[in-house]
Amino acid sequence: MSAETFDITILGANSAVPAHGRHPSSQYVRIGQDALLIDCGEGTQMQLKKFRCKLNRIAYIFISHLHGDHFYGLIGLLSSMQLQRRERLLTLIGPPGLDEIITVQLKHSQSALEFPLRFLAVQPTAKELLVEEPSYRVYGFPLQHRIPCTGFLIEEKTPFRKLIKEALEADRPPVEVIKALREGRELPDPETGEVRYPLSRYAYPSPQPRSYAYCSDTKYFPELADMIRGVSLLYHESTFSQIDAQRALETGHSTTRDAAFSALRAEAGELLLGHFSSRYVDLAPLLAEAQTIFPSSHLSEEGKTFIPKVR
């Protein structure tokens, strides 16, 4: 089964505080029938509304770490889901302690969530599978920040095959055979067991499944590349310009050059910069710095949607 829909809408691209019209970290990823919310900084639910992202589509919320700019929007969003009478299961994946924070907030406001909420505490020390769905998988992997921080890798499963039109027109296989061929399967004849319509005659080779890596707050470390090698689209924080590299070192963050080197090393298809420090009003110089090392770099712009490309 293929995910087909796979895109990432930027909801927040700033670091610690909201500034210059930019919000703290959050992204809305649509994959297949689901949406995944990655990080939920303050103001996320307003951004979701502004960019018409459906709350009920969200199946999972991933929180990378417990710095406020990555999760202070969570209790507000959960409360709104309750007010909207959500019924669907929501899985919250984040650092140990996050469930306690939510529970305390609900307790003292004498509120309760009536929809099923499942919490999965994660603090991976190596790349590990967190979510297995029919059309996609999500892995977690460790980053290197001031407090434990997790990156997330979303991979679609084998995409639909493109079919060879001429062969289909010549032999006209039944509809169920065409459906199976698209999914990369061969249907044996129910009576003879023989495969009359081989995949190799009717379908082009399967394209590489697409993937998206979210590297939240982290300093540069070379081993990161091994956990996300060949990723189609890499989001890597780039809080600072190269000029402020010393500040990046002191705070456990990355510069534009660090992000670009990670993309190069991981052989990523494209790079998305984000988590910008409020000290920069104009982000064009940051983009230029990254592009000198990794030309396919882009800025995370709020409201903009990015699609991982087949490679």
Q: Cite the active site residues.
A: 69
Residue 217 is assigned to a ligand binding site: yes
CB 147 within 8 A of CB 66: yes
Residue 226 is assigned to a ligand binding site: no
Q: How far is the CB of 283 from Zn ion (least distance, A)?
A: 16
Report the SS3 class of residue 42. coil
Query: Which residue's CB is nearer to Zn ion, number 10 or number 181?
Result: 10
Q: How far apart are CA 38 and CA 28, in angstroms?
A: 6
Query: Which residue's CB is nearer to Zn ion, number 37 or number 81?
Result: 37
Helix ranges (H only) for the chain are 44-50, 74-83, 98-108, 165-171, 175-182, 199-202, 224-227, 245-251, 256-265, 284-293
127-156 residues near Zn ion, rule: CB under 5 A: none
Query: Which residue's CB is nearer to Zn ion, number 67 or number 86?
Result: 67
Q: How far apart are CA 30 and CA 57, in angstroms?
A: 8
Query: Which residue's CB is nearer to Zn ion, number 202 or number 235?
Result: 235
215-254 residues near Zn ion, rule: CB under 5 A: 217
Strands (E), the chain: 6-12, 26-31, 34-40, 58-62, 90-94, 117-121, 128-132, 136-142, 150-156, 211-215, 233-237, 270-274, 297-299, 305-306
Q: How far is the CB of 15 from Zn ion (least distance, A)?
A: 5
Residue 20 is assigned to a ligand binding site: no
Residue 171 is assigned to a ligand binding site: no
37-76 residues near Zn ion, rule: CB under 5 A: 67, 69
Query: Which residue's CB is nearer to Zn ion, number 140 or number 159?
Result: 140
176-215 residues near Zn ion, rule: CB under 5 A: none
- CA-wise closest residue to 75 among 45, 50, 48, 34: 45
Phi-psi category of 278—alpha, beta or left, where left has phi over 0 and alpha has psi -120 to 50? Answer: alpha
Q: Looking at the DSSP assignment, which residues form a beta bridge with residue 84?
A: none
Q: How far is the CB of 66 from Zn ion (least distance, A)?
A: 8
Q: How far apart are CA 154 and CA 139, in angstroms?
A: 7
Residues sharing a CB contact under 8 Å with residue 233, sequence separation 6 or more, in sequence order: 8, 210, 211, 212, 213, 268, 269, 270, 271, 272, 306, 308, 309
- CA-wise closest residue to 199 among 169, 179, 215: 179
Residue 65 is assigned to a ligand binding site: yes
Over the window 17 to 36, marking each residue x when it contacts Zn ion by CB under 5 A and - when it does not, the resulting string is --------------------
Q: How far apart are CA 120 and CA 106, in angstroms?
A: 18
Q: How far is the CB of 252 from Zn ion (least distance, A)?
A: 7
Q: How far is the CB of 291 from Zn ion (least distance, A)?
A: 23
Residue 189 is assigned to a ligand binding site: no
Residue 67 is assigned to a ligand binding site: yes
Annotated binding site: 65, 67, 69-70, 145, 217, 275
Bind-site residues for Zn(2+): 65, 67, 69-70, 145, 217, 275
Q: Which residues bind Zn ion (CB under 5 A)?
A: 67, 69, 217
